[in-house]
Structure 1
Amino acid sequence: MNFYSKTDLFRWFIYNECNIWRNFKVAFSKDVANKEIASQMKVPDDYDVSKVTKEDLKWREYPHEENKQYFKSLRVFYQDTNNVEVVKSLQTPFDYSFEGIRKWWKKINIAKKKFEQSYLQDRNKILGNELAAAHFIVYRGGAIKFHGDDVWIKADENKNYNLPEYYVRNKYIEAIDCTNTDIYYEALQNFQELKFLKWLSLNDCENLDDWCIDTICGAHYKSLVYLDLRNCPNITERGLVALWKMEKLKILYLDDILRSTQYEMTVLLLQEYLPQLEIKVGDFAEDD
């Protein structure tokens, strides 16, 4: 018969005591963590879904993702394309009233239009940047004119128009008329590579805002000579500030330079910074 020595028994006792103490510490730490998470998850009485920001959504992630054993909570429902608006819509009760359904349907249609106006790389690979932009504009009711050609190309009532359906060399868009077209910011990505664009009319494009003007200035500040911004209510003095980059701009159409004190001062400063620029107000001299 084998008998354990006192040393072996002592080691066995210490080992079991350590295991018990370690298990107790793990259970205690988990309980503390759960209580802390529960306290953070309590919804305050003044909680408003419409005021949720990106900072408020940081609870969905652990402090850092360098340690790969940690994963985002709610990973089943979360994707990289999610944003604050999606979370807001999921947390906001649906309005079943007639007005609520009308707003919901309008929002769906706007999202569909924005998706349809997105930049398509395959289209540009087949047609080239110039013809791809021409097809995009003419199909949506606008008109274009190529460099060295005095004829404006526009679709008829049945959306039929005459444009090459394959890549053609030495075709460069010189002028774009987007008057009264239902375009959004996403549509401007199709104009980025037009290096010889001189004439651009955005008259009555109500969906365009200050961000759109900044995008246009960043892409065409070396070539644009004529710009029409009439009947664009969402373009403010903040958008006009970006026009200081337009070193070749000579004609700018606006509705009214007296909309506000800030708007008027911005126009005056713009005129001082660009002495070659002629700012026209109202509906006249359409043949410029």
Structure 2
Amino acid sequence: MIPAHILRPTFISKKQIRPGACRYFWGWLNAVFNKVDYERIKDFGPDRAASEWLLRCGAHVRYKGFERWQQDYNGLPTGPLGKFKIQAINATDSCIMYRGFDHLDGLEHVEEIKLCKCIYIEDTCLERMSKIENLQNSLRRLEIISCGNVTDRGIIALNTLRNLEYLFLSDLPGITKKQTTVEMLQTANPSLHVELDLD
């Protein structure tokens, strides 16, 4: 006969969970979501692999020639390789992080990126993004909002995005030298319009 205590369901209260354990678990899981599968990029193309990465992490994508945003990972479009090219990325509330940014390397049509309330976005992410040659050519609009780990260093790194036309910065407590930072960006790219909401 099975002892009664084995049959009883076990409930774990919040008090029994070690402080920080949940945070560690989610950090580990998000790191898994951001892992780059280079074989998949090779087999299915950079846009498909990047779409999977972004949607897996909670971001949305819009493809060139389409108005609708793709939000459902299980509803990713199928068809000939190369048909669906990412034109815009909305990473609001997503868990994208530095280790996943290699997915952006092969994207040739990204014109807009929105980084809003992204807890893992930091200066190294912006520095990595600014070194991607395809983004230097294609990116036109960039919004960075409520990303608490971004500082002047990360924003200044964006000066290599030579075709950037519009940059919106809001709720970034790490930006402490906003006038100097904006001047450096506009010196590198005189046609860049920077909109600030940092007060």
Confirm or deny that 1:103 pairs with 2:20. yes
Verify the 8 A CA contact 1:175 1:198 in the aligned structure 2.
Answer: yes
Which amino acid in the other structure matches residue 171 of structure 1? F
Q: Paired residues, what number? A: 182
Give distance in 1, aligned partners of 2:185 and 2:34.
31
The aligned amino acid for 1:228 is E
Distance 2:51 2:80 in 1: 12
- Bigger fraction of residues in strand: 2
Supply the RMSD in Å over aligned alpha carbons.
2.6
Contact 1:257 1:264 in 2 (8 A): no
- The Cα shift of 1:139 comes to 3.3
Instruction: Provide, for residues 47-89 of structure 1, a one-character-per-residue CA deviation record: whole Å limited to 9, x for no partner.
Output: xxxxxxxxxxxxxxxxxxxxxxxxxxxxxxxxxxxxxxxxxxx
The residue number in structure 1 matching 2:170 is 255
Q: Distance in 1 between matches of 2:68 and 2:155?
A: 31
In structure 1, the residue matched to 2:64 is 147
| 2:160 pairs with one of 230, 235, 245 | 245
Q: Hey, what does 1:129 align to over in structure 2?
A: 46
Q: Distance in 1 between matches of 2:123 and 2:175?
A: 16
TM-score, length basis structure 2: 0.80
Which stretch shows the higher mean deviation, 192-201 or 124-133?
A: 124-133
Q: Describe the shift of the 1:247–1:223 C-alpha distance in structure 2 as closer, same or farther (beyond 3 A).
A: same
Alignment of 1:180-259 (within 5 A): 180-219=93-132, 220-255=135-170
**Secondary structure at 2:194 match in 1:** strand
Counterpart in 2 of 1:272?
187
Q: Which residue of 2 aligns with 1:163?
A: 77
- The residue identity in structure 1 corresponding to 2:87 is E
Unaligned 5+ segments in structure 2 are 1-14
Q: How far off is 1:128 after superposition?
A: 1.3
Matching residue of 1:40 = none
Q: Distance in 2 between matches of 1:184 and 1:258?
A: 19
| C-alpha distance in structure 1 between counterparts of 2:186 and 2:80, whole Å | 41
Distance 1:271 1:256, change over 3 A: farther
Give the residue type in structure 2 aligned to 1:151: R
Alpha-carbon distance, 1:228 to partner: 0.9
Report 1 or 2 for greater relative contact order, CA contacts < 8 Å, sequence distance ≥ 6.
2
Residues 151 and 176, structure 2, Cα contact 8 Å, conserved in 1: no
Identity within the alignment, %: 23
**Residue 257 of structure 1 contacts residue 281 of structure 1 at CA under 8 Å; is this kept in 2?**
no
Structure 1 window deviating more from structure 2 (134-143 vs 205-214): it is: 134-143
Amino acid at match of 1:271: Q
Partner amino acid, structure 1, of 2:81? V
TM-score for both structures, normalised by structure 1: 0.57
CA contact (8 A) 2:85 2:109 kept: yes
Q: 5+ unaligned residues in a row in structure 1: which ranges?
A: 1-97, 284-288
Question: CA 1:259 to 1:207, structure 2 compared with 1: closer, same or farther past 3 Å?
Answer: closer
- Matched-pair contact (CA < 8 Å) for 1:254–1:280: yes
| Aligned residue number for residue 29 of structure 2 | 112
- Taking the aligned partners of 1:274 and 1:252, their CA distance within structure 2 comes to 11
